[in-house]
């Protein structure tokens, strides 16, 4: 039994005394203790060393006491396991030296034995569960197939991912084959994560908002939904599509346990578009954590009032920024813990 199960209760839609809180990218670059580890070990060494990944995962919990931990890892471990070279360049970000542009290159992409290729992730989960000692749940995650395709085709981050879109629109057969390979790998990967001890999983569709509503259904949502269907009986699944407010109605009809909301969609619109029946997560603008702590607390209380304390998980609308002061992150978490509903 997990001592603090607020997060799991919210995912089930149960009544809670206050909503749970965690922050996307909470294990990371805004923490001095993380920076100390980063100075000693490169990015993928941190991901692939269970002792380091588990330590990084619990660092924010020790400091701020969130209601859930999220495993320190990266969405690009999936293409790495699929025989696609991925580098993480300092001050640049992901770099894939051999981007995929043809049917032949798609044919060379493998659906790996995830138990073997990604075993280091499952070992990190087990090490993290020991450190958490059943205090709070652990979240595992993966990128959406579309978001992974974006990096595989573009070769790096982009503001528009035009090359990825061009590949999908000019070579849809190959694009769908690649998306299906990523989907199959992701399903197997997340199932193993649950077996290793994750209490819930989240799918990050970071670049879903780059697509039109019609193209989103074809190149992103249908694959996310495959993952949800494959996992729904094993664990709660949170689907987060950044910039995808236009798909919230369709997403709400799925078997996802919760939907992530970014800061461009109001609580009122999110509840309206999803019919008010599904747990929502979000949607504090990460940049707003640069406001004074007293203002942060006020805005967080207002956000909870607007979403309602039930069927709601307090979070940011995207990952926490590296330049956020520690006392501001603390104010965000404390505001939720201090929240008392007005009846």
Active site residues: 25, 29, 38, 74, 151
Whether a cis peptide bond, with omega within 30° of 0, leads into 318 is: no
Mark 124-155 as b/e (b = at least 16 C-beta within 10 Å). Answer: bbebbbebbeeebbbbbbbbbbbbbbbbbbbb
Cα angle 300, 301, 305 (rounded to 5 degrees) comes to 115
272 Cβ contact list (under 8 Å, min separation 6): none
Both tokens assigned to 36: 């100390």
The answer to whether 241 touches 209, Cβ cutoff 8 Å, is: yes
Both tokens assigned to 41: 């070990």
Strands 237-241 vs 93-95: parallel, antiparallel or unpaired: unpaired
Strand partners for 239: 203, 259
State the sign of the Cα–Cα–Cα–Cα dihedral 301, 303, 308, 313.
negative
Determine how many CB atoms are found less than 10 A away from the CB of residue 33.
13
Both tokens assigned to 263: 């800061």
DSSP 212-245: -HHHHIIIIIHHHHHHHHHHTTTS-EEEEETT-G
Q: Which residues are annotated as a binding site for substrate?
A: 25-29, 44, 74, 151, 206, 318
285 Cβ contact list (under 8 Å, min separation 6): 263, 316, 317
Strand partners for 304: none
DSSP 85-147: --EEETTTEEE-SS---SHHHHHT-----HHHHTHHHHHHHHHHHHHHTTSS-EEEEEE-HHH
Q: Which residues are annotated as a binding site?
A: 25-29, 44, 74, 151, 206, 318
């Amino acid at each position: 039994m997990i001592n603090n199960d607020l997060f799991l209760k919210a995912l089930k839609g149960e009544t809670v005394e206050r909503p749970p809180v965690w922050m996307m990218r909470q294990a990371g670059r805004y923490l001095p203790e993380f920076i100390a580890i980063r100075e000693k070990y490169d990015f993928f060494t941190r991901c692939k060393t269970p002792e380091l990944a588990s330590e990084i995962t619990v660092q924010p919990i020790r400091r701020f006491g969130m209601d859930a931990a999220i495993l320190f890892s990266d969405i690009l471990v999936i293409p790495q396991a699929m025989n696609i070279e991925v580098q993480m360049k300092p001050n640049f970000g992901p770099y894939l030296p051999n981007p995929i542009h043809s049917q032949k290159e798609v044919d060379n992409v493998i659906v790996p034995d995830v138990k073997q290729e990604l075993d280091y992730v499952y070992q990190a989960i087990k090490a993290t569960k020991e450190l958490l000692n059943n205090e709070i749940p652990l979240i595992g995650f993966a990128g959406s197939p579309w978001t992974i395709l974006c990096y595989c085709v573009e070769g790096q981050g982009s503001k528009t991912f035009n090359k990825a879109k061009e590949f999908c629109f000019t070579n849809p057969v190959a694009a769908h084959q690649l998306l299906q390979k990523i989907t199959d790998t992701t399903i197997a990967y997340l199932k193993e994560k649950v077996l290793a001890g994750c209490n819930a999983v989240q799918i990050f569709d970071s670049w879903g908002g780059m697509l039109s509503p019609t193209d989103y259904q074809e190149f992103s949502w249908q694959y996310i939904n495959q993952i949800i269907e494959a996992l729904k009986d094993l664990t709660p699944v949170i689907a987060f599509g950044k910039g995808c407010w236009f798909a919230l109605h369709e997403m709400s009809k799925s078997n996802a346990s919760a939907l992530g909301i970014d800061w461009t969609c109001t609580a009122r619109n999110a509840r309206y578009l999803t019919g008010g029946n599904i747990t929502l997560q979000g949607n504090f603008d990460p940049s707003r954590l640069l406001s004074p702590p007293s203002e942060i607390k006020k805005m967080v209380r207002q956000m909870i009032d607007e979403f309602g304390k039930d069927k709601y998980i307090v979070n940011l609308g995207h990952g926490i920024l590296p330049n956020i002061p520690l006392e501001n992150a603390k104010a965000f978490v404390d505001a939720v813990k201090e929240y008392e509903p007005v009846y």
